[in-house]
């Protein structure tokens, strides 16, 4: 988004503003397709669950990774328009429920759709057998998350040593395990995580086969890094490494899924906020803006992400802090930005803030989330 359009939008819609550029969503989707021709894309809805974003990916032929019944319903709204027969044949191709822990009420609601769901423990098998006996299963494995910005392996994932026993346990409960899934950690800049995980899965495929269980699909999860800065490895190089391992270890008939989230939406989101106050604190200029870490900048806390702020006006840069509008000191966007001297009422903006941002906005302190505007839809 260029500065002129952003300024026009914020003047029209007010601040704080969260702009989603659908041309950028389509560009990222096409890039993923191009570099992973063998892989079906299941967009991880939690990263930004805006129904307009889901619709854009759906229209491109995308599928979805959902992790709650609410996310399932958001996606199902797109599918519901299809004829009934097609809808049922379609559901695995379109949705994976990839939260290994599911409330009983969710399983009961999901069962009639014959869903594909992940699991990683014995209790979950018992729950699924009782409350969603028509589900297909994918076993989530614990894999190395070394060097990823957000670690995702301490909460979920069966140990490789337990894998085949967990597959057997599911079969004993009349459930079919279709394949394996993993997540290498979000914003994964270390290709070794993917290589190790794929090799681990190939070993488990072989062990399962030797014990009479034929696995058919491999879900390589998310983690594909957004190009936040020049230190992030090139996507094409990462894709080449991953494809090489997939082709070496998994025959053509094995279906490969991926659940990219951040990669598809990070660069499509821009946040615009207004300066509402200005003060010198600790010998440093501080700007107070009308968006913060309880809102669009929630990634500062939950996503371990740093966002830079830019001004629309040029001028000699000086080191300053930028704070959000709430009364909590935690509501600090950055303690070291370089911005020119700006007045109250002027605007700041941050790019590459489409992932894990507006999705976890709150109403804390009475400040509502930023207004969302979709462009190039
Ligand atoms: C969060 C999540 C994703 C998306 O991860 P990104 O790093 O944003 O690509 C994919 N799959 C699962 C199971 C997740 O929990």
Which of 188, 201, 305, 327 is the catalytic position?
327
Distance from the alpha carbon of residue 278 to the mean position of ligand 1, in angstroms: 38
- Atom 10 of ligand 1 has which residue's CA nearest to it? 222
Distance from the alpha carbon of residue 119 to the mean position of ligand 1, in angstroms: 15
Q: What is the pLDDT along the chain (377 residues), one digit of tens a residue?
A: 899 999 999 999 999 999 999 999 999 999 999 999 999 999 999 999 999 999 999 999 999 999 999 999 999 998 888 777 776 667 888 999 999 999 999 999 999 999 999 999 999 999 999 999 999 999 999 998 888 888 888 899 999 999 999 999 999 999 999 999 999 999 999 999 999 999 999 999 999 999 999 999 999 999 999 999 999 999 999 999 999 999 999 999 999 999 999 999 999 999 999 999 999 988 899 999 999 999 999 999 999 999 999 999 999 999 999 999 999 999 999 999 999 999 999 999 999 999 999 999 999 999 999 999 999 99
Query: What DSSP state is assigned to residue 231?
Result: T
Distance from the alpha carbon of residue 131 to the mean position of ligand 1, in angstroms: 26
Q: Cβ contacts of residue 159 below 8 Å, gap of 6+?
A: 141, 142
Distances (CA, A) of 104 to 66, 138, 173, 247, 290: 16, 18, 17, 38, 40
State whether the beta carbon of 98 lies less than 6 angstroms from ligand 1: yes
State whether the beta carbon of 299 lies less than 6 angstroms from ligand 1: no
What class, spelled out in words, does domain 3-18+266-375 have in CATH?
mainly beta
CA 44 – CA 60 distance, rounded (Å): 15
CA 5 – CA 80 distance, rounded (Å): 35
Domain residue extents for the chain? 3-18+266-375, 22-265
* φ, ψ at 308 (rounded to 5°): -95, 150
Known catalytic membership, residue 327 = yes
Predicted TM-score (pTM) of this structure: 0.96
State whether the beta carbon of 224 lies less than 6 angstroms from ligand 1: yes
CA 280 – CA 287 distance, rounded (Å): 9
State whether the beta carbon of 354 lies less than 6 angstroms from ligand 1: no
Q: For residue 73, which of 95, 90, 88, 52 has the smallest C-alpha distance? A: 95
For 154, the token pair is 């301490």
State whether the beta carbon of 359 lies less than 6 angstroms from ligand 1: no
CA 372 – CA 51 distance, rounded (Å): 12
Longest CA pairwise span in the chain (Å): 70
Question: Positive or negative, the Cα torsion across 54, 55, 57, 58?
Answer: positive
Q: For residue 292, which of 204, 190, 360, 206 has the smallest C-alpha distance? A: 360
Q: Cβ contacts of residue 110 below 8 Å, gap of 6+?
A: 69, 72, 97, 102, 117, 132, 135
Distance from the alpha carbon of residue 45 to the mean position of ligand 1, in angstroms: 9
Q: Are 136 and 92 in contact (CB under 8 A)?
A: yes
CATH topology of domain 22-265: TIM Barrel (3.20.20)
């Amino acid at each position: 988004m260029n500065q002129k359009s952003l300024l026009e939008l914020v003047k029209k819609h007010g601040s704080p503003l969260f702009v989603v550029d659908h041309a950028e969503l389509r560009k990222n989707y096409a890039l993923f397709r191009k570099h992973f021709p063998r892989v079906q894309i299941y967009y991880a809805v939690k990263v930004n669950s805006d129904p307009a974003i889901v619709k854009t990916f759906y229209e491109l032929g995308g599928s979805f990774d959902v992790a709650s019944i609410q996310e399932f319903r958001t996606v199902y709204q797109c599918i519901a328009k299809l004829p009934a027969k097609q809808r049922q044949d379609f559901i695995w191709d379109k949705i994976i429920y990839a939260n290994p822990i599911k409330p009983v009420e969710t399983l009961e609601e999901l069962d009639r759709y014959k869903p594909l769901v992940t699991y990683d423990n014995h209790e979950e098998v018992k729950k699924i057998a009782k409350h969603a006996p028509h589900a297909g299963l994918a076993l989530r494995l614990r894999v190395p998350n070394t060097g990823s910005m957000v670690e995702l392996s301490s909460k979920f994932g069966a140990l490789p040593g337990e894998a085949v026993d967990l597959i057997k346990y599911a079969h004993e409960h009349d459930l079919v395990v279709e394949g394996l899934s993993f997540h290498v950690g979000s914003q994964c800049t270390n290709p070794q995580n993917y290589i190790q995980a794929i090799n681990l899965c190939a070993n488990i495929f072989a062990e399962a086969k030797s014990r009479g269980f034929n696995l058919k699909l491999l879900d390589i999860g998310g983690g594909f890094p957004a190009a936040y800065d020049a230190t992030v490895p090139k996507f094409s190089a990462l894709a080449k490494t991953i494809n090489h391992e997939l082709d070496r270890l998994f025959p053509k008939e094995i279906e490969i899924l991926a659940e990219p989230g951040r990669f598809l939406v990070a660069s499509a989101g821009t946040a615009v906020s207004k300066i509402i106050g200005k003060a010198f604190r600790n010998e440093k200029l501080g700007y107070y803006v009308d968006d913060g870490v309880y809102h669009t900048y929630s990634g500062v806390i939950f996503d371990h992400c740093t966002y830079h702020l830019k001004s629309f006006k040029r001028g000699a840069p000086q080191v300053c802090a930028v704070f959000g509008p709430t009364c909590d000191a935690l509501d600090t966007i950055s303690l070291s930005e370089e911005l020119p001297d700006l007045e109250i009422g002027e605007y700041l903006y941050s790019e590459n803030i489409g992932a894990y941002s507006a999705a976890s906005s709150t109403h804390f302190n009475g400040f509502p989330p930023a207004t969302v505007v979709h462009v190039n839809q």
